[in-house]
Amino acid sequence: MIRFEEVVKRFGDHVVLRELDFSVQPGEFVTLIGPSGSGKTTILRLLMTLEQVNAGRIFVGGECLSHVDKGGRMVPAGEKHQRRMRRRIGMVFQQFNLFPNMKVLQNVTEAPIRALGLTREEAEQRGRELLEMVGLSEKADAHPSQLSGGQQQRVAIARALAMRPEVLLLDEVTSALDPELVAGVLKVLKEIASTTDITFLCVTHEMQFARDVSDRVLMFDHGQIVEDAPPEKLFTDPDHRRTREFLQAVLDRG
């Protein structure tokens, strides 16, 4: 579960999030859409604690990212709390960022061995299961450079899942891919979303994907959510003028 409560984020004088409120229920797949530069990636970066809020609170699984309860009083959390919270959240980026010198399987097993304390055997067994889930069993011993972009992105997805996250953040995971490789990545994500209880928050410009996979779509503009609806409503009969203009602009761009 994710909850934003009156979150404000500024960069200098530039207010990017204006008392933003929204939540994502456990197991839900929610997609954020909206104009470029409107603050969608900032929302994900705040969840990863790569940025800090200027005001408001963010909760993951009922726990605040930035504050802890001390005898009934909320006090700023230390680095240890933030690290523990960060571990509950996985992220897949536009750029796959695989370790080039490690084989595919090792890319998937490295973090769980270090951070979750799994033995190499446990991590490799789980790693092989995950590679099978993303359709890459036969690539376990390859190096990333021997894989297509779509395959590398599927390894990055397996690597994120290996940390057993409660929440998975997806930031434009297909925008660096050649068009013919996009479908394979989206198919894998759809499968994972429907077979696990992971909570997803996704930022994408792929409207067809948002439509196919999301339980809810949030239209985000000028630091706030202007429309929150199931995809079948939002994409066919949006209530808000800004949503209609945005979807029309996407269509015009082809």
Ligand X SMILES: Nc1ncnc2c1ncn2[C@@H]1O[C@H](COP(=O)(O)OP(=O)(O)OP(=O)(O)O)[C@@H](O)[C@H]1O
Is residue 38 a contact point for ligand X (CB under 6 A)?
yes
State the DSSP string of the chain: -EEEEEEEEEETTEEEEEEEEEEE-TT-EEEEE--TTSSHHHHHHHHTTSS--SEEEEEETTEESSEEEETTEEEE--HHHHHHHHTTEEEE-SS----TTS-HHHHHHHHIIIII---HHHHHHHHHHHHHHTT-GGGTTS-GGGS-HHHHHHHHHHHHHHT--SEEEEESTTTTS-HHHHHHHHHHHHHHHHHS--EEEEE-S-HHHHHHH-SEEEEEETTEEEEEE-HHHHTTS-SSHHHHHHHHHHHHH-
Q: Which of 6, 11, 25, 237 binds ligand X (CB under 6 A)?
A: 11
Nearer to ligand X among residue 39 and residue 165 (C-beta): 39
Only one residue has tokens 């933003």, namely 20
d(CA 63, CA 128) in angstroms, rounded, equals: 32
Task: Name the segment binding ligand X (CB under 6 A); options: 22-30, 37-45, 81-89, 244-252.
Answer: 37-45
Is residue 126 a contact point for ligand X (CB under 6 A)?
no
Task: Name the segment binding ligand X (CB under 6 A); options: 40-48, 68-76, 135-143, 234-242.
Answer: 40-48
Is residue 174 a contact point for ligand X (CB under 6 A)?
no
Residues 128, 158 contacting (CB under 8 angstroms): no
Could you tell me the smallest distance in angstroms from the CB atom of residue 67 to ligand X?
23
Is residue 37 a contact point for ligand X (CB under 6 A)?
yes
Q: Which of 40, 126, 154, 159 binds ligand X (CB under 6 A)?
A: 40
Nearer to ligand X among residue 16 and residue 181 (C-beta): 16
Could you tell me the smallest distance in angstroms from the CB atom of residue 140 to ligand X?
33
Question: Among 192, 1, 200, 188, which residue's Cα sits nearest to residue 90?
Answer: 200
Is residue 52 a contact point for ligand X (CB under 6 A)?
no
Is residue 161 a contact point for ligand X (CB under 6 A)?
no
Q: Which of 7, 22, 24, 42 binds ligand X (CB under 6 A)?
A: 42
Site string for ligand X, 14-33 (x = CB under 6 A): --x-----------------
Could you tell me the smallest distance in angstroms from the CB atom of residue 19 to ligand X?
16
Q: Which of 4, 31, 33, 41 binds ligand X (CB under 6 A)?
A: 41
Binding-site size for ligand X (CB under 6 A) equals 9
Is residue 218 a contact point for ligand X (CB under 6 A)?
no
d(CA 113, CA 251) in angstroms, rounded, equals: 45
Nearer to ligand X among residue 26 and residue 37 (C-beta): 37
Residues that bind ligand X (CB under 6 A): 11, 16, 36-42
